[in-house]
Amino acid sequence: MLDYSVNTQFTYGMKKQGDTAADLIIVFVSKEDMAASGGERQWVHQQVDVALRGYYAKSVFKAKPQEIQLIPTLGLIAASHVAFIGVDSAPLSAGRLRDAAAAAAKAAVRVKAQHVDIQLRHDIVIGATGCEPKQAAQALTEGFLLGLYHRKPSKREEEARHEVSAVTWIPEDTLNAAESEALQEEWSAGIQRGVRFAEATAFARDLTNLPGNRLTPEALAEEAEKLAARLNMDCEIIDEWTAAEQGMGGLLGVGLGSANPPRMIVLHYQGAPDNDEVWGLVGKGITFDTGGISLKKADGMEEMISDMGGAAAVLGAMQIIGELKPAVNVVAVIPAAENMPSDRALKPGDVITTMSGRTIEIVNTDAEGRLVLADGLTTAIRRGATKLIDVATLTGAVMVALGDLITGAVTNDETLMQRVVQAGYRAGERIWPLPSDPYYRKQLNSDAADMKNSGGRYAGTITGGLFIGVFAEEKPWVHLDIGGTAFLNKERGWEPKGATGVMVRTLAELLT
């Protein structure tokens, strides 16, 4: 079983006599801090501060956000290095704090620090920068841990990767005893929440980064079973024979071409048994996508291990939900299949019947995610879901519209959409609502069946989302297309090269 447990110990408060001395001290500074210091302010040590001002005067260090200036202390203090991290001027949002903490983690790795002290300005500690103390603590902890994350390669000789043993968030010594005690509780709670969110995101990243020959639909189902067992959740694994009995034509159709049969994975969490509201989280679980008969280009096809990024996001969110135990009811559904070309595979022109009874004309076998999600939404509804959110690496078109920075979204319920967008804002995962005008739906009209599975190149993200929305049966529903944000070609802040685990924390923020 994949298990990402944080080994770094986080604490908040002033250092006491006898505590282990840090080998790296980190200070956040803005351009305003540098300009206003006037040679008077002391951050760490007079000579270290003078060196920093010299770098700033020569524009070697400009205090730009996430910029790192490492200065060796040469025995002036116990720590071997000081890292000054550039930040924006106040107010500092949770997102900016998360970015700054990720830069701090990279500085710690660079000098192989074991014990890190991070100095916090008074306004950050008391929540005067744009986010409450608990939220600041969570964002900083998440940023540091997500910045430490590294992909685990499969090599004959395992690569040694540096780990940070302990991080202490140190406030400015300007608080009275009562303020310190109250803030200690908030910061401790925020740190604990941040650790859990980061662990679940790293779990989703590890799952998505697994090669397709190791993560088959059956293997993904086994990971879900182990997660459910650890968190005391009910878990159903529907195999190909039971799927056929239940009429899951979308799932089975996509899986036809592969020697690895599909699975429909269902997890149940009941935190509010007296409440009739049930959230349905549906994650696309295509463990590898060749495009089927409508074969993809060879260049970049290796990245299609990420086509189950939606499934990973849902499992990561369920890990947080199972640990925090919020008073909500959730049914998580993951339709898992492998999309391969063979003599048995779906062909353009084929017509299939989904679990809902609707018929689909296949015009492009590379538009397969929406077919398995159709049966996924029906499965969630039949198990009581009253609100639906699906997460999927659905289209390349979303990258044309939004690049790899923002997740695209389509909905039939603006109120639910705004809740999801706000949760994404808190998590630092931006979501952009796309129009869902009914005229777009007409692009999916078919002469051979109820619908066709592709509306063509124009508005591909919208029509792909609206296809899935048909199977929401008019229940409140949001579709999140992470086709651009689930897997990166180069690292960016707290997001690594490869799988990002995007939407784990958004879903968890929404439901916890």
Q: What residues are labeled active site?
A: 296, 370
User: b/e map of 254-271 (b: 16 or more CB within 10 Å)?
Assistant: bbbbbebbbbbbbbbbeb
* Annotated binding-site residue numbers for Mn(2+): 284, 289, 307, 366, 368
**CB half-sphere exposure, 395, CA atoms < 13 A:** 32
Residue 46 CB-density burial (10 A; 0-12 exposed, 13-18 middle, 19+ buried): exposed
What is the C-alpha to C-alpha distance for residues 101 and 140, in angstroms, rounded to an integer?
5
Distances (CA, A) of 127 to 86, 93, 302: 19, 10, 44
What is the C-alpha to C-alpha distance for residues 162 and 110, in angstroms, rounded to an integer?
9
Please, what is the Cα angle at 37 between 35 and 42, to 5 degrees?
Answer: 145
Of 313, 486, 282, the closest CA to residue 395 belongs to: 486
Which residue bears the tokens 């060749």? 290
What is the C-alpha to C-alpha distance for residues 294 and 91, in angstroms, rounded to an integer?
50
Contacts from 210-215 at CB under 8 Å and sequence distance 24+? 210/2, 210/305, 211/154, 211/305, 212/287, 212/288, 212/304, 212/305, 212/338, 215/287, 215/305, 215/308
What is the C-alpha to C-alpha distance for residues 353 and 151, in angstroms, rounded to an integer?
40
Q: Give residue 44's identity as a one-letter amino acid code.
A: V
Which residue bears the tokens 């135990």? 325
State the SS3 of 87-139.
Answer: CCCCCCCHHHHHHHHHHHHHHHHHCCCCEEEEEECHHHHHCCCCCCHHHHHHH
What is the C-alpha to C-alpha distance for residues 116 and 114, in angstroms, rounded to an integer?
7
How many residues in the chain? 512
* Annotated binding-site residue numbers: 284, 289, 307, 366, 368
Q: Is 455 helix (H, G, I), strand (E, B) or coil?
A: coil
DSSP-assigned letters across all residues of 171-237: E-S---HHHHHHHHHHHHHHHHHHHHHHHHHHHHHHHHHS-TTT--HHHHHHHHHHHHHHHT-EEEE
Sign of torsion, CA 176 17 83 194? negative
Assigned token pair, 4: 């990402």
Assigned token pair, 198: 């980061």
Residue 164 CB-density burial (10 A; 0-12 exposed, 13-18 middle, 19+ buried): buried
What is the C-alpha to C-alpha distance for residues 286 and 309, in angstroms, rounded to an integer?
8
